[in-house]
Amino acid sequence: MKKFPKNFMIGAATAAHQVEGNNVNSDFWTMEQLPGTMYKEPSLNAVDHYHKFKEDIQLLVDAGLNTYRFSIEWARIEPSKGNFDKNEIEHYRQVLEFCHQNNVTPIVTLHHFSSPKWIISEGGWESESTIEYFGNYCRYVVSELGDLIPYICTINEANIGKQISKIMKRVMGNQSNSGKDNNGNIQVGLNFDMKAQMEKYFQALGEAFGIDPRNVQTFHSPRTENGERIIMKCHEKARSVIKEMNPNIQVGITLSLYDHQALPGGEKFVDQEQHEDFLNYLPYLQEDDFLGVQNYSRKIHGPDGVVNPDETTRLTKMGYEYYPEALGNVIRFVAKHWKKPIIVTENGVSTDNDEERVEFIKRALTGVHQCLEEGIQVIGYTYWSLLDNFEWQLGYDQTFGLIAVDRTTQTRYPKESLSFLGNIKKEGL
């Protein structure tokens, strides 16, 4: 029996916009409602985690898990510029207190993709002013809730904009008008099947945010190098504010990382991808306490670049290759360049067959355990995700969750994979 250390964190993760519902002051809510939207459906009530968080966390606890990663929604806390909502802070205080009452370690993400609508109207994630705005938001949250938060991820998948930029170039250059081959090439639910509508959609975006459509810069917009710098300056600003107010809080960031593997002749592509996905960000992370690693699959590179899966390759519902061993490989790669603690902040599989999820978890956590045996400082693992939820532009079709939800009644149905993960925490692999 391979047991994890007693203090090892094992649990599950969610993001506010994907589970809470009615995030009406956010940029994503705005984009979901537009005519010609890229979203297959709107988030609406989501899975009503906003009101049902105690039930959901209790299911996590009853399974034997001890960690819950969730995000605080900036658009709720600061629905208009400079106006902070005390009632919403109290809501997240209740979430945190319920975690502590049940001996669950909360890992809080301050920005998980969605932003206040007003931030986008002010220039969004390509604007210098966002650095100060984000710092103000972080200061308010930590001043109110800092004593309840042991771990903070400032920004989720800070590198996703660069990955989206590369995919968008590929999609726009694809004369077939279909982006189906690209859905497996990025670790977020984007809809690439509506290329023909993009121009009309971006025009509507500009009108919705009251700015030139070329200046609409959400977190998922293809990012310039200056935008990359601004994101990381936001991280540095947040870390500085958090440490100034409460030095005991452990601060990190999360990155979307593939297991890049080379066939003969593909080594240069692997080196380039690893630099762009990870090594490039290291100078900004030197004062961080931990790194959040997020991995779902691998990419294989040949002499001409990425080799797409063939018809014999086992795929997930998201179009990724089903390859749980990617996680251990990514942790080993990161550990060559990062000598501080690592938390696996996301890892999971979208499938309608829960037996596949159980298998995925077992194989992925076997890799994590091997990394521990090799002396790598992995201190936690949060499966993505606790609940079947809103997968961004792909809507509710994707099923990553340990808990199924009937959205007509919001009834929860825990899957076998939830208790399986809990048993790993209690008894080992």
Q: Strand 305-306 to strand 298-302: parallel, antiparallel, or no bridges (unpaired)? A: antiparallel
In angstroms, the first-to-last Cα distance of the chain is 6
Q: Please indicate whether residue 157 is annotated as part of the active site.
A: yes
For residues 92 and 53, give the distance between their C-alpha atoms in angstroms, rounded to a whole number. Answer: 10
**Residue among 73, 157, 228, 391 flagged as catalytic:** 157
Distances in Å between the Cα of 308 and the Cα atoms of 154, 299, 315, 321 are 33, 8, 11, 10
> Which is it for the CA torsion 389, 395, 396, 397, positive or negative?
negative
Phi, psi values for residue 4, rounded to 5°: -90, 155
Tally DSSP H helices, then E strands, for the chain: 14, 13
The Cα 276–Cα 274 span in angstroms is 6
- Yes or no: say if 17 and 23 are a contact pair by the CB < 8 Å rule: yes
DSSP 193: S
For 350, phi and psi rounded to 5 degrees?
A: -90, 115
Output Rg (C-alpha) for the chain, integer angstroms.
20
- DSSP secondary structure string for all residues of 71-107: E--HHHH-SBTTB--HHHHHHHHHHHHHHHHTTPEEE
* Beta carbons of 288 and 340 less than 8 angstroms apart: yes
- With vertex at residue 85, the alpha carbon angle to CA 66 and CA 12, rounded to the nearest 5 degrees, is 20
- Give the 3-state DSSP-derived string for 214-226, with helices as H, strands as E and coil as C: HHCCCCCCCCCHH
Residues marked as catalytic: 157
